[in-house]
Amino acid sequence: MPSLTRFSLALLIVCTVTAIARANPEVPAPPQSGPIALVGGTIHPVEGSVIEAGTILFDGGKIIAVGNDVKLPAKTEKIDCRGQHIYPGLFDAYTDIGLVEINSVRATADFREVGNMNPNVRALSAVNPDSELIPVTRSNGVLLALTAPRGVFVAGQSAVIQMDGWTPEQMSLKSAAGLMVHWPQPSSNPAPADPSDDPILSLPKDDAIKQLRKALNDARSYGAARQADANYPADARWESLQPVLAGELPLMVHAESLEQIQSAVAFGDEFKLKLIIVGGYDAPRCADLLKPRGIPVIVTAVYRLPRRRNDDYDAPYTLCERLRAAGVKFCISSSSRFGASTVRNLPYHAATAAAYGLPADEALKSITLYPAQILGVDDRVGSLKTGKDATLIITSGDPLETPTQVTGAYIQGRKVAWNDRHKRLFDKYQEKYKQLTP
């Protein structure tokens, strides 16, 4: 009888979680089957001048031509875009989209592994293509995102994904984009209530860095042993650190304070690592360290509070402009404590940065071209240029303006489904009030 009770309880839990986290009903688009031309719209290539009443032609998922005088092949599908605007798909450079559905429902959150040293963890393997958040996100023009594991010291490898596909592999644009490391906070930062929540935070900062130094030295020794003897036993953790040591895979260091950034840069110099700073609240104060080394910053959200009591109220809003003025490469992400559900708000983070001094063209680049450059996929996305993927959006106006509607999108030339949970609920309750009207 107790076994039956336990089985019934387990079945109830499974059914409850399934009801909460249903798969979205949108069908991923098939591959592009013939040439498509968007005709008559205002084209914003990002790399280059705006093209009024232009044409963009794409076939096989790639952009063939962009301009005012584009010769169209026979049987080209022409789409009238007069009065509309065409932009590259927006790119969020730091999220956990696809790894979490509802923050408060543990069974739907898969952004963190046990232990504090997980260089072999790959975010792509945990991405849920059926997440309801993916159609919602692309409805506001965000077609690309870096999704990253979080929560522990060495969290694992992030991936660049596209907002459409049947499987994680179909969604993948770059399966390994960087190794996520959450740099230890200064000792004045309070430890977690339960150190088991994040064991590394219960260690002194220097001890945590010693652990990472030992891991890299062990991985280097392992690499030398494997080169000398192909039969040397394989170790997934040390194997995954080889491209980091070779400078092929960047170390994406989440660091906000001056001390954190200085410490991370010194560590990177010690091992000759390729670094990307994630967060970067105090990065303008470290510009003399970052600029000569070409270390870029992924700004984690413009909508956030100042970190210190004596900071200017608008310090987070002006951060991007201060980085630009200092000559430090940067891009903007939507990352916040609300996680994947707010990735759709990415363009408004850039808009706020523009309102506080960042030039409008730089604000647009910070969510299109610059994240693509920083994450090493600018040969494929980030701008509307011949030879790049036909990953683009059609809008009623400037995507940084809240009244603007995104009216359509293509990912690698595939016209993606244009419905989502928000639209379905809007239609549902419109019908409700129509029925209530006498």
pLDDT tens for the chain, 438 residues long, are: 455 555 555 444 544 444 445 667 788 889 999 999 999 999 999 999 999 999 999 999 999 999 999 999 999 999 999 999 999 999 999 999 999 877 767 767 667 777 788 999 999 999 999 999 999 999 999 999 999 998 778 989 999 999 999 999 999 999 999 999 999 886 544 444 444 455 554 555 678 889 899 999 999 999 999 999 989 999 999 999 999 999 999 999 999 999 999 999 999 999 999 999 999 999 999 999 999 999 999 999 999 999 999 999 999 999 999 999 999 999 999 987 777 888 999 999 999 999 999 999 999 999 999 999 999 999 999 999 999 999 999 999 999 999 999 999 999 999 998 888 888 999 999 999 989 877
> Cα angle at 422 between 419 and 426, to 5 degrees?
100
- Is 246 part of a structural domain of the chain? yes
- Cα separation, 283 vs 307, in Å, equals 13
Domain of residue 47, CATH code: 2.30.40.10
Domain span at 396:
24-89+384-438
Helix axes 258-271, 205-228, angle to 10 degrees: 20
**In this structure, are 377 and 395 located in the same domain?**
no
**In this structure, are 77 and 94 located in the same domain?**
no
- Cα separation, 190 vs 228, in Å, equals 45
**In this structure, are 411 and 426 located in the same domain?**
yes
**In this structure, are 360 and 389 located in the same domain?**
no
**In this structure, are 133 and 249 located in the same domain?**
yes
**In this structure, are 437 and 318 located in the same domain?**
no
- Is 12 part of a structural domain of the chain? no
Split into its structural domains, the chain has a count of: 2
pTM for the structure as a whole: 0.89
- Is 313 part of a structural domain of the chain? yes
| Last residue in a domain, options 381, 396, 417 | 381
- Is 17 part of a structural domain of the chain? no
Closest CA to 134 of 21, 6, 276: 21
Output the CA–CA distances (angstroms, integers) from residue 191 to 110, 188, 264, in the order listed: 23, 9, 20
Using DSSP, state whether 97 is helix, strand or coil.
strand
Question: Helix, strand, coil: what percent of the chain each, to 5?
Answer: 35, 25, 40
- Is 66 part of a structural domain of the chain? yes
Using DSSP, state whether 69 is helix, strand or coil.
coil
| Last residue in a domain, options 361, 381, 401 | 381
**In this structure, are 210 and 324 located in the same domain?**
yes
- Is 315 part of a structural domain of the chain? yes
**In this structure, are 377 and 436 located in the same domain?**
no
**In this structure, are 371 and 415 located in the same domain?**
no
Q: Which positions ≥6 away from 135 have C-beta within 8 Å? A: 24, 26, 163, 417, 419, 420, 421
Domain of residue 221, CATH code: 3.20.20.140
**In this structure, are 336 and 397 located in the same domain?**
no
- Is 3 part of a structural domain of the chain? no
**In this structure, are 162 and 39 located in the same domain?**
no
- Is 322 part of a structural domain of the chain? yes
**In this structure, are 76 and 101 located in the same domain?**
no
